Amino acid sequence: METTPQSPADEKPLVFLAQPLFPEFAAALAGRYRFVLAADADAAAAAEARVLLVPGLATVTAQHLARLPALELVAGTSVGVDHVDLDTCRSRGLSVTNAGPAFAVDSADYAVGLVVAVLRRVASADAYVRRGRWAADGDYPLATKVSGKRVGIVGLGNIGSRIARRLAAFGCAVSYHSRSPKPSSPYTFVPALLDLAAGSDVLVLSCALTDETKHMVNREVMEALGKNGVLINVGRGGLVDEPELVRCLRDGVLGGAGLDVYANEPAVPPELFGMDNVVLSDHRAVITPESIRGALEVVTANLDAFFSGRPLVSPVQL
């Protein structure tokens, strides 16, 4: 009996998609893999899928994963993977990758930009000039210097270590808090987050959001940072107790904040809009044309490694 030859499309490895690919990714990967959107897939396709590609921050629940009995790899295109049910991945022995290495440089640059912007009140001074107040009311009030500040960094991974090096070049005294000390780090390890906050002028969040780190920056931590202290968050909004952050900024318990991430994006607490000691942006710290190209390279390398039986490029420790 004759068999029907496989078409070239059928010979491409199958990759399930949690949501549609970004245009840049779709154009670059179209010839390499056979993509099936999870929402459109039938049971036969779901049963065959060994890889789930997760563009952006698409939520992946235990129910989504249960549809894919042959799944071996969940490949993310973002830095954090808190939008994926990692407990289920762990219990099933699934591998998880992210694109963190591609975004580290841009995120570190942006974090430093927020530090400078908040301490020197760059956005508020800009608005003051644009409203014509310089000519009408005189110079904008002086803001504090960046150089020499005591900076505490929460999470000394790819991003945090780069933030540390950049701020050390400003002459800042850098300390850090993480799950364990980094033996090769030249910076001071502080085992307790509360102690790190108490000894810092600026606290920078660059760690992952997990059950253990959710709301790690609570009112007590903000009180320890103090009325002249500044909180910078380029990690995840859930790291901070957001209602308490609003209250601490409003009541003068905390001196200022630079926020790129929020608890319920794209919603931002409206109370923050009128605060001139707060700089806000729309979860863009990691995103530049260069970082998108870099993420594509990392994702492609992970997929290629998986389908050829080589070690993954950026595995996430579960």
**pLDDT of residue 305 exceeding 50:** yes
pLDDT score of 10: 57
270 and 303 in a single domain? The answer is no
pLDDT tens-place string over residues 111-160: 999 999 999 999 999 999 999 999 999 999 999 999 999 999 999 999 99
Instruction: For residue 177, indicate whether it is catalytic.
Output: no
**Structural domain includes residue 2:** no
Do 150 and 256 fall into the same domain? yes
3 has a pLDDT exceeding 60: no
pLDDT class of 233 with cuts at 50, 70, 90: very high
Q: Please report which confidence band the pLDDT of residue 100 belongs to, taking 50, 70 and 90 as the band edges.
A: confident
CA angle 217, 76, 316 (to 5 degrees): 65
**Mean pLDDT value across the chain:** 94
Check pLDDT > 70 for residue 245: yes
Q: Give, in order, the Cα–Cα distances in Å from 84 to each of 105, 142, 193, 215, 257.
A: 24, 45, 26, 19, 28
Q: Is 227 inside a domain boundary?
A: yes
The pLDDT assigned to 4 comes to: 37
Among residues 121, 177, 236, 242, the one annotated as catalytic is 236
Query: Which band of pLDDT confidence, cut at 50, 70 and 90, is reported for residue 188?
Result: very high
Domain carrying residue 142: 102-280
What CATH number does residue 259 fall under? 3.40.50.720
Q: Which of 318, 303, 308 is nearest to 32 (CA)?
A: 303
How confident is the model over 233-260, as a mean pLDDT?
98
Instruction: Indicate the number of domains in the chain.
Output: 2
Q: Is the per-residue pLDDT at 288 higher than 80? A: yes
Same structural domain for residues 251 and 182? Answer: yes
236 is an active site residue: yes
- Do 161 and 203 belong together in one domain? yes
> 267: which 2 tokens?
């919603």
Residue 8 reports pLDDT greater than 90: no
Catalytic residue among 265, 284, 290, 293: 265
Q: Are residues 25 and 130 in the same domain?
A: no
